[in-house]
A and B are shown apart, each in its own frame.
Chain A
Amino acid sequence: MHGFANPARFLRMARWLLPLLLVPGLVLSLGALAWGIAFAPPDHLMGVTVKILFIHVPCVWLGMAGWSTIAVSSIAELVWRHPLAGIAARAAAVPGAVFTALGLATGSIWGRPTWGTWWVWDGRLTSFLVLLFLYFGYIALADAAQRDAASGGSAGRVTAIFGLVGAINIPIINRSVVWWNSLHQPPSITLGRSAIDGTYLWPLLLGALGFSLVFGAVVIARMRMLLAEIQTEARLRRKALG
């Protein structure tokens, strides 16, 4: 893993990896959405609103995957002091927050014709809203930590600890529909089992793969941006001192 710790080596790899993830990601996600909208049949209970599944579910999965990335990177930063781990965690925060917000918005739009309401304060929706607030807190803390690091401080560890502690919300979101009464349906897809018919499942999985590739491309783009900002700051400071 430390083979990728060298920023110069990472930047060389990121140059070809970014378009390799982004182009197939956009083609797959938009293609799967078109497939689902055009060809998936209406559900006997939800009617055509079932097609919102193809945009809502990948957004929700990636909202949670974003924080899982932050948690894993935070462990790598705290335990192995991996030089790029903190940058990877910061880079995953914004796309994670965006997908969480999109998951909440599309879910709310789905709830109105299906449940008759835009919002309910049940376990699933509330814990997912908490995830969005955790992202806001993490982004603000990471920005403050970067300014602190520029003046020789070590607040980066506080950000990593926040990333780890916030991960406790991920299993709560996942199990919320089992632990508490909810308008939200129970899990349809678990490891090795799916309650979803193949006509919905395949465009959904293909779309989720496409969205994941786009998420990976955005994380790499943001890592390149953060590295460039750090290198610029370091050079300007050296010039000012020397």
Chain B
Amino acid sequence: MHERLDQWEYVWAALAIGVVGMLAMVSWSLIAMIRAERRRDKVRRK
């Protein structure tokens, strides 16, 4: 059986996983940092 490969599909898949993964990590880290600092400031004010 002959398997037909479209190489571009692999390029786009790798690019999507890499970029989405990196941006998700950046967003998660920034949100976690902002939440932790808000909680600290709230506790300080009490």
Contacts and interface: CB of A to CB of B under 8 A. Distances in A.
A-side binding surface: helix, strand, loop or mixed? helix
Contacts of B11: 37, 48-49, 51-52
B44 A214 contact: no
A97 B46 CA distance: 37
B40 interface: yes
Given A48-B7, A49-B10, A228 B25 contact: no
B21 A56 contact: no
A110 B7 CA distance: 9
Interface in A1-45: 22, 26, 29-30, 33, 37
Contact of B32 (A51, A55, A56, A225): A225
Contact of B43 (A29, A49, A235): A235
A222 B33 contact: yes
Nearest to B41: A228
Interface residues of A, number: 41
A59 interface: yes
A239 B5 CA distance: 64
A231 B11 CA distance: 45
Contact of B5 (A30, A113, A228, A232): A113
A110 B40 contact: no
Given A52-B10, A235-B44, 8 more contacts: A29-B22, A101-B21, A105-B14, A105-B18, A214-B22, A218-B25, A218-B26, A235-B43
Interface of A: 22, 26, 29-30, 33, 37, 47-49, 51-52, 55-56, 59, 94-95, 98, 101-102, 105-106, 109-110, 112-113, 211, 214, 217-218, 221-222, 224-226, 228-229, 231-232, 235-236, 239
14 contacts: A48-B8, A55-B15, A56-B14, A56-B18, A95-B29, A102-B17, A106-B18, A109-B13, A110-B10, A113-B5, A218-B29, A225-B32, A225-B33, A225-B36
